Structure 1
Amino acid sequence: MLKQAALIALMGLSASAMAGQWQVKVGGSAIAPTQDTKILGGAATVEADSELAFTPSVEYFFNDNFSAEVLLAAPISHDVSVRSAGEEIAGVKLKHLPPTVTAKYHLKNSTGFTPYVGVGATAFIPWDEEASGVLADTKVKVKEDYGYAAQIGFNFQPADAKNWGVFADVRYADLNPKVETAVEKFKLDIDPVIYTIGYSYKF
């Protein structure tokens, strides 16, 4: 009896999984840091510049309302500037990846317009740091960081489109990587807001 019940449960889970749908999203994002960091006793300010990025993602729908999305952004080149008295005195160029996973709830309705919200986790994985200015002859190391992510947006599928749609969303990422220089060690407050638009295809 227990074996039969377990078999029925496994068949039900398999059917549920097969009933789901995959969606591929191809978009472009504007990454806008919302914070900066004071160093040297407040004499200098460290700030990450805004950047543009190619941000594809893959999403799996468990049903009409719930899904999980993985952001698969291409490597992003990022500039960090150090300013004092209004002038840039140093800078750091680096590359990084922002892998992000969110669990999403879709407000499904009878129209092609589907709003959604999501929460999850994100990471900041940097490499290839290059310093300039007063830091040019020193080693600068930016560490990995992990934080939470929040997301709100919508997907729109025209009535005559079977699989294609367009989407727009806004994400917030709580990221504060540690920076080590010959002058000072500090946490760089980035906390970016990411604005994304693109196309979606469900199959």
Structure 2
Amino acid sequence: MLGKLFVVALMGLSSSVFAGGWQVKIGGSVLAPSKDNNTLADGAVTNAKADHAFSFTPSIEYFFGDTNISSELLLATPFKHDVTANVAGGPSETIASFKHLPPTLTVKYNFKNSTGFTPYIGIGATAVIAWDEETKGSLTGTELKAENAYGIAGQVGFNFQPADAKNWGVFADVRYADVGSELKWNGQKIGTLEVNPWVYSVGYSYKF
């Protein structure tokens, strides 16, 4: 739904606004889930949480004409997470692992000024596309399925382009997403694994 709203909003802009430019970013990100006390399966699984993960995260950004507005699409190679939890009152253990992609689209406001330092803020939509779920520990031999999920994302960061660097620059930003994935265990819904991650990214930028 959020993705459709973005498409409609972009289509509503005048053709003159689209006379802008492109920027690509090449960097890496640490995805740090902030939710660490999920309760699943009617209390049989407690303190469930996904661990931190690192991945290569390129992105594509479009600047709308001479405005301060741009739109950025974050891409990634797969993130892989282990999930730890307490099962039936037992000690904390690794009970599962999964891979996912977190494509994120944000509309950004860039605070342009007379220097090469450009802070920005953004808001948009994100997704969790999960696959390769595997159970471990006391859940080994059972079947786990993580459903694809969608949520809202915010972003704050900066791009720095030295005066003598032509089109090249460096960037750093932080995203926060309100998103979680509904889980099925042996075909039965057991609740939602809330992830709500912080995503910390750094890298190089190149503006065309």
Name 1:126's counterpart in structure 2: 130
- The one of 69, 76, 95 equivalent to 2:79 is 76
Name 2:194's counterpart in structure 1: 189
Name 1:6's counterpart in structure 2: none
Name 1:143's counterpart in structure 2: 147
Q: Cα offset for 1:30?
A: 0.8
Identify unmatched segments of 5+ residues in structure 2. 1-13
Q: Cα offset for 1:77?
A: 1.3
Please tell me the root mean square deviation across aligned C-alpha atoms, in Å.
1.8
Q: Are 1:168 and 1:198, in contact at CA under 8 Å, matched by a contact in 2?
A: yes
Name 1:7's counterpart in structure 2: none
What percent identity do the matched residue pairs reach?
54
Name 1:26's counterpart in structure 2: 26
Of 87-96 and 25-34, deviating more is 87-96
Q: After superposition, give the CA deviation of every residue in 1:136-162 in whole Å (9 maximum; x if it has no partner).
A: 111101101000000000000001011
Task: For residue 123 of structure 1, give the secondary structure of its aligned residue in structure 2.
Answer: strand
User: Given residue 191 of structure 2, which amino acid in structure 1 is its aligned partner?
Assistant: F
Take 1:110 and 1:90, find their aligned partners in 2: how far apart are those partners? 51
Q: Are 1:150 and 1:171, in contact at CA under 8 Å, matched by a contact in 2?
A: yes
User: Given residue 191 of structure 1, which amino acid in structure 2 is its aligned partner?
Assistant: N
Task: For residue 134 of structure 1, give the secondary structure of its aligned residue in structure 2.
Answer: helix
1:152 aligns with 2:156: yes
Identify unmatched segments of 5+ residues in structure 1. 1-11
Take 1:196 and 1:132, find their aligned partners in 2: how far apart are those partners? 30
Q: Cα offset for 1:16?
A: 4.2
Q: Are 2:182 and 2:189, in contact at CA under 8 Å, matched by a contact in 1?
A: no
Name 1:109's counterpart in structure 2: 113
Take 1:42 and 1:96, find their aligned partners in 2: how far apart are those partners? 25
Distance 1:169 1:186, change over 3 A: same
Take 1:201 and 1:184, find their aligned partners in 2: how far apart are those partners? 45
Name 1:55's counterpart in structure 2: 57
Q: Are 1:154 and 1:168, in contact at CA under 8 Å, matched by a contact in 2?
A: yes
Structure number with bigger Rg: 1
Distance 1:167 1:181, change over 3 A: same
Q: Are 2:108 and 2:123, in contact at CA under 8 Å, matched by a contact in 1?
A: yes
User: Given residue 64 of structure 2, which amino acid in structure 1 is its aligned partner?
Assistant: F
Name 2:95's counterpart in structure 1: 91
* Runs of 4+ residues over 6 Å off in structure 1: none
TM-score by length of structure 2 reads 0.85
1:174 aligns with 2:182: no
Q: Are 1:90 and 1:135, in contact at CA under 8 Å, matched by a contact in 2?
A: no
Q: Cα offset for 1:43?
A: 6.2
Q: Cα offset for 1:192?
A: 0.2
Name 2:205's counterpart in structure 1: 200
